Structure 1
Amino acid sequence: MKGLLFAGALLVTMFSAVPAFSADLVGEWVSQPGKGSGALSGAPQHGTRPAGKHFNAGDLSWVLKVSSQEGSGFHGEWCSARKCEELVGVVRRDGMLLMADEDSTFFATMHGDEMELCVVEPGKDFRVAACHVMKKK
């Protein structure tokens, strides 16, 4: 019985030491139509909507282009149909992704082959808190 308990404890220790996420992120991740949610207010810098208060319904196309990855760090771009902004990111030990471009902060979680990517941008002239479901091309 003691041997079985020891083996179980050893397995738990081994699996808890394995990183939660180690996938290759390089490539294009595209927002899935109709799978977005959130709110925005003001004049979007990407020019994707007129100024005012709007809700994110997943009707606009966004692309996360990851160009390089080394270990848990990566570089890329966050792109609307009108412009791209350089982005940097890191995969945390728990598998959550943190990213930043010139004016926004992103938080993402992997769910199988999909990424739930949420963006937050505070500001006087524009604010957004929205999430997108992204899928790798």
Structure 2
Amino acid sequence: MTNKWPHSSTPDPLDPRSFRVAALVRAARSAQNQTEFGRALGGYSQPQISKFESGEADPPASVIETCMRIVAEQRGVTEELNPTEISEQLLRVAATPELSHLARAIGLIVKALEPRQIGRPRSKTPQ
């Protein structure tokens, strides 16, 4: 993933190697003030947005998702990824040793989302 920010020292808020929710919220807010941005996100107050941006508070998942969508649109990325593209990207990211913890977390999320078959116990997989 290439850094599309004007200064190379500015971390890319969508890069999984340097992902920080606070940076993502700041990037999504762009030129709006915190009050306007809070209203646009669904009624968050200026102090709440400030806490999200400083890392003092974690925003709800819906705010993170909205901010990711805003930043992607700012970059001109408007198409939705299909499941194959998502899995290919995950494989590339998870292949790096410094992100092995991310690969495990994604695996646990996917496992939790698997539909359960009624009446059948889940098979136990060795760890």
Which gives a bigger RCO, structure 1 or 2 (Cα 8 Å, sep 6+)? 1
Please tell me whether Structure 1 or Structure 2 has the larger radius of gyration of its CA atoms: 1
Q: TM-score, normalised by structure 2?
A: 0.23
More strand by share: 1
